[in-house]
Amino acid sequence: MSQLFTPFPLGSVSLKNRIVVSPMCQYSAEDGLAGDWHMIHLGGLALSGAGLLFIEASAVEPDGRITPGDLGIWSDATEAALGRVIQAFRKYTNIPVAIQLAHAGRKASSHAPWDGGQLIPIGRGGWQTEAPSAIPHAAGEHPPVALDKAGLARLRTAFVEAAKRAHRLGIEVIELHAAHGYLLHQFLSPLSNQRDDEYGGSLENRMRFPLEIYDAVRAALPADKTVGVRVSATDWVAGGWDLEQCTVFAKALKQHGCSFIDVSSGGVSPLQQITLGPGYQVGFAAHIRAQTGLPTIAVGMITEPEQAEEIVASGQADMVALARAMLYDPHWPWHAAAKLGGTVDAPQQYWRSQPRDQKALFGPTSIGQR
């Protein structure tokens, strides 16, 4: 029996399999509002047969957007627009839905990747960014403003209000984005955090604000709500955030009641030297899982069904998250189930697509159709 296609309890949410659709920024919102593109994009992925669908990184306030096209969840209008999309695909699938709550910090005010990704100057459509310290992400960029106590308090409130909005929309899983060089990761990394107060310096101090955000969000939601964190296990830069520090952070998150940890890497510095290859981040997830016992999601160049099966079956991670592979093949879970002998949910409108030699692919309800 394929382990990839066995159920998994993620906090209070029951996943039908271990395949997760990663949060993938689309840079296609207007003023933070989900639109027709999100209806098409998320609607298709909701029918993928995966066990969990992540909505892309969603900014908790306008200045926390990576780009002007980022999705947001900071107002009644952004909440309503996203709700329209979720309500539409909920008519046809009961896939559990997650959202990644984010603030870009010093990496905000940037062009979309297809426009180069550089910082947008103030006065040319950009805005003043904020960060733990007034250190720009890349040399020559306009520096961010170091957050003061009032700014930290404002951000705690912003994350809490965004989480409440997501809960009202019926989103089952909340993930805080503390990876890829964005704000919470910036607090964790000594490369970006050079504060001299209680939020900088020692590892304990650098973890303080991300843990405060987690605690505030956790306290604002029902006790059984599934709340996890995405981390970068290493900066891939000497003297930066690394696996040892990340493991300490993961252990602290577990003590604070974290439901799961989603393990990625990199993003805080353009000086990073990443060694790419199939499953290049899986070892980080395996280490953190072994050290903490937290339910763990592995990500990064996981493209083949057999590869995903081995990760789960060998205990390196509890779940695998796919991003580019899912964009390239939105029915990746169907094809993986066909190869591995699994079963997936599919809308009845698609049952006739089931190959003749895969009569149980869509479950017993699809067998015997005329």
- The residues carrying an active-site annotation are 182
The full DSSP string for 148-181 is -HHHHHHHHHHHHHHHHHHHHTT--EEEEEE-TT
DSSP label at 288? H
173 forms beta bridges with: 98, 226
In this structure, what is the dihedral angle of CA atoms 175, 180, 181, 183, given to the nearest 10 degrees? -10
**Alpha-helical runs (H) found in 47-174:** 76-90, 149-168
Are the CB atoms for 58 and 144 separated by under 8 Å? Answer: no
Helix (H) or strand (E) holding 131: strand 130-131
Are the CB atoms for 160 and 214 separated by under 8 Å? Answer: no
Tell me the C-alpha to C-alpha distance, in Å, between residue 143 and each of 128, 186, 190, 217: 8, 14, 17, 29
Q: How far apart are CA 58 and CA 120, in angstroms?
A: 19
User: DSSP 3-state assignment of 111?
Assistant: coil
- For 289-327, b/e burial (b = at least 16 CB within 10 A) is bebbebbbbbbbbbeebeebbbbbeeebbbbbbbbebbe
Question: If we measure between CA atoms, which residue out of 24, 16, 29 comes closest to residue 326?
Answer: 24
What lies within 8 Å, CB to CB, of 23 at 6+ separation is 54, 55, 56, 57, 98, 99, 100, 175, 177
Q: How far apart are CA 222 and CA 241, in angstroms?
A: 32
